[in-house]
Amino acid sequence: METPSFSPATKIAELVEQLGLAPEAKLVLAYSGGVDSQVLAVGLAEYAQSHPEFNYLLVHVHHGLSTNAALWAKHCETMATQYDLPIKVKTVKVEAGPRVSIEAAARDARYAVLTQELSAGDLLLTAHHQDDQLETLLLALKRGLGPKGLAAMGRVQVFAEHAYLVRPLLDVQRQEIEEYAKLHDIAHIEDESNQDNRFDRNFLRLDVIPALKARWPSIASTASRSAQLCAEQQSLIDEEVGARLPGMLVKMPNMARPVLDLRLLAQQSQLWRAQLLRGFIDSLGFAMPSSVQLKQLLFQLLAAKEDAKVEIRLKPMVLRRFRHHLYIDRYEASPKLMPIEIAINESASEGWLITENIKLELNRCDTGVRLRLPQANERVSIRFGASGSSRCHPHFRDKGRELKKLWQELAVPPWLRDQVPLIYFNDTLVAAAGYWVEKRYLASESEVGLIPISVRK
């Protein structure tokens, strides 16, 4: 038998050197115990012998989907002892919902626990190889994905915003890995579910890819090149979106997330509108809608009349249009915010009040627009929602106005108005946190007062 043309330890070393890993950083291997991860574990053990400056960890995720799952966990613990590498076995509960496959649910559960083991600058190693890349590319074609999906898997990717996901074996074929394991007599587990071609990946692995390789032996390698070209094209698109999108975002008062100016979006070409909306959704951390859904979203958002109420629920998000701005929030029932009574006096220091989705800071100072301190006979409370006919006289207006008209004047979206903390002294509305202080309750010059601040999560 020919000596395999790769060394897993060398593959790991190449990526660690490329990323300039800091001493004390941790290399975490997603360790299933299958032949691919077992070979990579051997490489990690070899690399660890000559690089004690780093920390190492094997993580085996016990999904409980097979009657052999406990035996596999035991096997992984035994092998970790032989390799002199620490290991953690994590038990997860996999729950697949409507339109979510068991494979996808298991993958999400697996990555969730792996994320818990990573700190800034750490590496997560997975044993994906060139044939896995071909499977991913074929699945992307089946789903009708664009360049981002066809880019498949990268050898190095940012993971969980602070660590890196690396795939040292991505340019190695499955056959080479199996030959390496046989040559070095590496024990590994065999997951019986890998022979079940009801799963899409197994169907490709067992029935489709062997036929493709029989006709075109180098298809895995050429498909990887196609994926790389798609990745480069997507990178250029992302770069241009990153240059254009910030100029279209607006920071609204008392909101942590920016909103998108739909007038500016409408000025873009049709193709760029879709790319920019994708970029905006992605920047907020939401899953990407399909191309069909995206077209429908753009039509509903841009074709609506100026005063039209547009609210589109697309789990896990809800998109709303208000005065040519697009607001995107997590789709969830509006919380019932209850009144809160608080004690503030001359000796009070700055305080924090947390409600379900409001952070309210009461900050004492003696400059700027401030609410005066309550008098001894004034009970202080925070309430949510008030009659639109209530009259208020904000500090910035010469005359008073109805609350409903004030919300319109300040461009506060209707669905957020009942979430604004309203400060009351006894039963008198004296301030709307983040917006105004009632004129006759202003602190006088040089007098210590309060600045109510509301920030939505």
Digit-coded pLDDT (tens) for 224-278: 999 999 999 999 999 999 999 999 999 988 788 899 999 999 999 999 999 999 9
Count of domains forming the chain: 3
Same-domain check for residues 322 and 390: no
Please report the pLDDT score of residue 258 as a whole number: 93
User: What residues contact residue 445 under an 8 Å CB cut-off, 6+ apart?
Assistant: none
| Residue 278 belongs to domain with CATH number | 1.20.59.20
Residues 356 and 217 reside in one and the same domain: no
Tokens of 329: 């929030």
Q: Give a yes or no: residue 3 inside a domain.
A: no
In whole angstroms, what is the distance from residue 392 CA to residue 311 CA? Answer: 29
Query: Which one of 193, 211, 237 terminates a domain?
Result: 237
Q: Are residues 214 and 352 in the same domain?
A: no
Q: What percent of the chain has pLDDT over 70?
A: 92
Residue 448 domain-assigned (yes or no): yes
Q: 344 and 306 share a domain? A: no
Please name the residue ranges forming H helices in 20-129.
35-50, 69-83, 102-116
User: pLDDT class for 362, splitting at 50, 70, 90?
Assistant: low
Of 85, 96, 152, 88, which Cα lies nearest the Cα of 114? 88
Contact assessment for residue 45 and residue 85, using Cβ atoms and an 8 Å cutoff: yes
Structure tokens at 158: 């940012």
Q: Is residue 287 part of a domain?
A: yes
Predicted pLDDT at 27: 97
Running DSSP on this structure, what letter comes out for residue 389?
Answer: T
Write down the pTM of the prediction. 0.75
Distance in angstroms (rounded) separating the CA atoms of residues 25 and 54: 5
**Confidence at residue 345, expressed as pLDDT on a 0 to 100 scale:** 53
Q: Which one is predicted more confidently, 171 or 308?
A: 171
Cα separation, 405 vs 183, in Å, equals 79
Q: Domain range holding 411?
A: 340-456
Find out whether 35 and 188 touch, Cβ atoms under 8 Å. Answer: yes
For residue 361, pLDDT over 50 is answered with yes
Are 193 and 95 members of one domain? yes
Q: What pLDDT does 1 receive? A: 46
Residue of 285 and 254 predicted with greater confidence = 285
Cα separations in angstroms, 340 against 336, 423, 450: 13, 10, 17
Phi-psi region of 161 (alpha: psi -120 to 50; beta: other; left: phi over 0): left
242 inside domain: no
Specify whether 319 is located in the same domain as 367: no
Both 371 and 443 in one domain: the answer is yes
Within a domain: residue 2?
Answer: no
- The last residue of one of the domains, among 282, 309, 330, is 330
CB burial readout 203-234, b (16+ within 10 A) else e: ebbeeebeeebeeeeeebeebbeebeebbeeb
pLDDT given at position 266 = 95
- Together in a domain, 279 and 402: no
Residue 60 domain-assigned (yes or no): yes
C-alpha–C-alpha distance, residues 436 and 60, integer Å: 55
> Is the Cβ–Cβ distance between 357 and 349 less than 8 Å?
no
Rg of the chain (C-alpha set): 29
| Sequence-separated contacts (24+) of 266-270 with Cβ below 8 Å | 266/302, 268/244
- State residue 193's pLDDT score: 78
Is residue 247 in a domain? Answer: no
Query: 416 pLDDT exceeds 90?
Result: no
CA-to-CA dists, residue 298 to 264, 272, 331, 372, 454, angstroms: 13, 11, 19, 47, 31
Mean pLDDT value across residues 60-72: 85
Are 368 and 398 contained in the same domain? yes
Any idea which residue has 């406990």 for tokens? 70
Tell me the average pLDDT of the chain.
88
- CA 13/CA 15 separation, integer angstroms: 6
Residue closest to 281 by CA, chosen among 312, 317, 315: 317
Q: What is the CATH number of the domain that holds 86?
A: 3.40.50.620
Same-domain check for residues 271 and 419: no
C-beta of residue 326 within 8 angstroms of C-beta of residue 301: yes
N-terminal to C-terminal alpha carbon distance within the chain: 61
Alpha carbons 296 and 313: distance in angstroms, whole number: 12
Of 56, 194, 35, 203, give the one whose Cα is nearest residue 129. Answer: 35
Q: Tell me, yes or no, whether 249 lies in a domain.
A: no
Cα–Cα distance, 282 to 261 (Å, whole number) = 16
Q: 279 and 179 in one domain?
A: no
Mean pLDDT value across residues 100-119: 83
Do both 289 and 362 map to the same domain? no
Task: Choose among 238, 405, 257: nearest CA to 325.
Answer: 257
